[in-house]
């Protein structure tokens, strides 16, 4: 895909020569779908998403990863992939807090929806240092899961049971009984968990999850419940690498508390997670409630409506945000408002942390 041009931007052999660039604006995207064996059709059933035939395991909502980049679906930049927008605008898009990402030429974050109709494999993600050394410069993966939908008695795997050692773990793999040493955690809609590098984890069946993570697709599969892939063969495991990074001290973690940070005038703001890679807050708007926001060059903001319906408005336009849809507000200075439409709305707000925070 060519980089961004309008009638005042010339594409030359030496690259793009800007005379007058398109001004950045809040952007929505066409999701990129992934069809793993554990997926279902709950994004269609629950949220009215149009899907191609077959399972839709993952919907990458905002992504500049080469394995599945999203494309701007409206406005002057319609039709351009997020990596091209990032390559052209850089800090104007992601903000000064993303200096490390700009140095690497990598968009900092990725937002997904997971439809775990069946259980996922048990897996571990590496930290940045290990991934950069062993995965051809790929980043590690810190991620947060926010549960959108859960069948009764739904559970996830998160961490190890108390007292489990490396020897216990290896023996359980060899004897095909790994689940006996894993910590199983019940979850319900509205629960959130932080999955740090080295944490063994898996989403079990009957869940739809909103995932916020580093811009990475690095996963080490440890255990796959004895099943086979679409080709009839067991899917590859990555036990040796997983053991290199597995955190045996992460024992029986729980769901995250979500303390209230603000409660006034029809707006409830809650803290969900603060990691070195991203901050996630939950904003609940009463019917016709309004959030007034502003970016100032420090960080982009990603807003996803996860319940109800909202609209995001700025001086030059607006976009509807039904559940579940995301909008990227660039870091370049912009004042905007988010309004709940006809009924209460719940949104996730994602941004980059400051060095101090």
- Flag whether pLDDT at 41 surpasses 60: yes
Token reading at 278: 């991203």
What is the C-alpha separation between 3 and 53, in angstroms, rounded? 32
Average pLDDT over residues 104-108: 94
CA angle 253, 184, 142 (to 5 degrees): 50
Q: How confident is the model at residue 235 (pLDDT cuts 50, 70, 90)?
A: confident
What is the C-alpha separation between 56 and 60, in angstroms, rounded? 11
* Range picked from 1-5, 51-55, 71-75 for highest mean pLDDT: 71-75
Q: How confident is the model at residue 227 (pLDDT cuts 50, 70, 90)?
A: confident
User: 280, 273 in Cβ contact below 8 A?
Assistant: yes
CA-CA-CA-CA torsion sign (106, 194, 160, 222): negative
Mean residue pLDDT of the chain comes to: 92
Predicted pLDDT at 50: 92
CATH H-level superfamily of 260-351: Jelly Rolls (2.60.120.10)
Q: φ and ψ at 245, to 5 degrees?
A: -115, -10
Predicted pLDDT at 7: 33
Q: Is the pTM of this model over 0.85?
A: yes
User: 221, 236 in Cβ contact below 8 A?
Assistant: yes
Write the class of the CATH domain 31-65+107-245: mainly beta
Domain segments of the chain as ranges: 31-65+107-245, 260-351
Average pLDDT over residues 175-199: 96
Token reading at 186: 């019940």
Ramachandran bin of 88, using left for φ above 0, alpha for ψ from -120 to 50, beta for the remaining angles: alpha
Predicted pLDDT at 349: 98
- Flag whether pLDDT at 230 surpasses 80: no
Predicted pLDDT at 6: 46
Predicted pLDDT at 17: 40
User: 58, 33 in Cβ contact below 8 A?
Assistant: yes
Token reading at 130: 């290990």
Number of C-alpha atoms within 13 angstroms, CB side, residue 160?
A: 20
Predicted pLDDT at 294: 97
Secondary structure of the chain in the HEC alphabet? Answer: CCCCCCCCEEEECCEEEECCCCCCCCECEECEEECCCCCECHHHHHHCCCCCCCCECEEEEECCCCCCCCEECCCCCCCCEHHHHHHHHCHHHHCHHHHHHHHHCCCCEEEEEEEECCCCCEEECCCHHHHHHHCCCCCCCCEEEEEEEECCCCEEEEEECCCCCHHHHHHHHHCCCHHHHEEEEECCCCCEEEECCCCCEEECCCEEEEEEEECCCCCEEEECCCCECCCCCECCCCHHHHHHHCCCCCECCCCCCCCEEEEECCEEEEEEEECCCCEEEEEEECCCCEEEEEECCCCCEEEEEEECEEEEEECCEEEEEECCEEEEECCCCEEEEEEECCCCEEEEEEECCCCCC
More confidently predicted of 34 and 9: 34
Closest among 201, 190, 217, 188 to 250, alpha carbons compared: 201
What is the C-alpha separation between 348 and 239, in angstroms, rounded? 34
What is the C-alpha separation between 83 and 63, in angstroms, rounded? 8
Q: How confident is the model at residue 1 (pLDDT cuts 50, 70, 90)?
A: very low
pLDDT digits (tens, 9 = 90+) for 249-277: 999 999 999 999 999 999 999 999 999 99
Among 119, 155, 221, 325, the active-site one is: 221
pLDDT digits (tens, 9 = 90+) for 3-21: 444 434 433 333 334 434 7
Q: How confident is the model at residue 234 (pLDDT cuts 50, 70, 90)?
A: confident
pLDDT digits (tens, 9 = 90+) for 299-323: 999 999 999 999 999 999 999 999 9
- Flag whether pLDDT at 333 surpasses 80: yes
Average pLDDT over residues 92-111: 95
Predicted pLDDT at 226: 84
Predicted pLDDT at 296: 97
Provide the percentage of residues in the chain whose pLDDT is more than 70. Answer: 94
| Annotation marks residue 104 as catalytic | no
Predicted pLDDT at 257: 98
Same fold, 31-65+107-245 and 260-351: yes
Predicted pLDDT at 13: 36
């Amino acid at each position: 895909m060519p980089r961004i041009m309008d009638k005042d931007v010339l594409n030359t052999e030496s690259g793009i020569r800007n005379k007058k660039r398109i001004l950045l604006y809040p952007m929505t995207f066409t999701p990129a779908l992934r069809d793993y064996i554990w997926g279902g059709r709950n994004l269609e059933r629950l949220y009215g998403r149009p899907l191609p035939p077959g399972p839709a395991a993952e919907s990458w909502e905002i992504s500049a990863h080469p394995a599945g980049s999203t494309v701007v679906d409206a406005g002057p930049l319609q039709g351009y992939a997020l990596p091209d927008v990032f390559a052209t605008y850089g800090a104007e898009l992601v903000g000064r807090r993303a200096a490390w990402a700009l140095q690497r030429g990598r968009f900092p974050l990725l937002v997904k929806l997971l439809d775990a109709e069946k259980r996922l494999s048990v897996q571990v993600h590496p930290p940045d240092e290990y991934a950069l050394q062993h995965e051809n410069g790929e980043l590690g993966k810190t991620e947060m899961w926010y549960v959108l939908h859960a069948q009764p008695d739904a559970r996830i795997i998160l961490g190890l049971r108390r007292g489990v050692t490396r020897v216990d773990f290896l023996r359980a793999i060899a004897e095909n009984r790994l689940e006996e040493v894993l910590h199983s955690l019940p979850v319900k809609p509205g629960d959130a968990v932080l999955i740090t590098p080295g944490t063994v984890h898996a989403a079990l069946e009957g869940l739809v999850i909103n995932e916020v993570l580093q811009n990475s697709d690095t996963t080490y599969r440890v255990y796959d419940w004895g099943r086979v892939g679409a080709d009839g063969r067991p899917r590859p495991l990555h036990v040796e690498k997983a053991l290199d990074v597995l955190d045996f001290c992460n024992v029986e973690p729980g769901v995250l508390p979500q303390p209230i940070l603000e409660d006034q005038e029809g707006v409830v703001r809650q803290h969900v997670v603060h990691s070195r890679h991203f901050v996630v807050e939950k904003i609940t708007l009463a019917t016709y409630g309004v959030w007034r926001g502003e970016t100032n060059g420090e960080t982009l903001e990603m807003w996803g409506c996860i319940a109800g319906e909202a609209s995001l408005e700025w001086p030059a336009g607006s976009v509807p945000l039904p559940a579940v849809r995301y909008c990227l507000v660039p870091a370049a200075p912009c004042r905007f408002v988010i309004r709940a439409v006809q009924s209460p709305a719940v949104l996730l707000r994602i941004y980059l942390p400051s060095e101090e925070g």
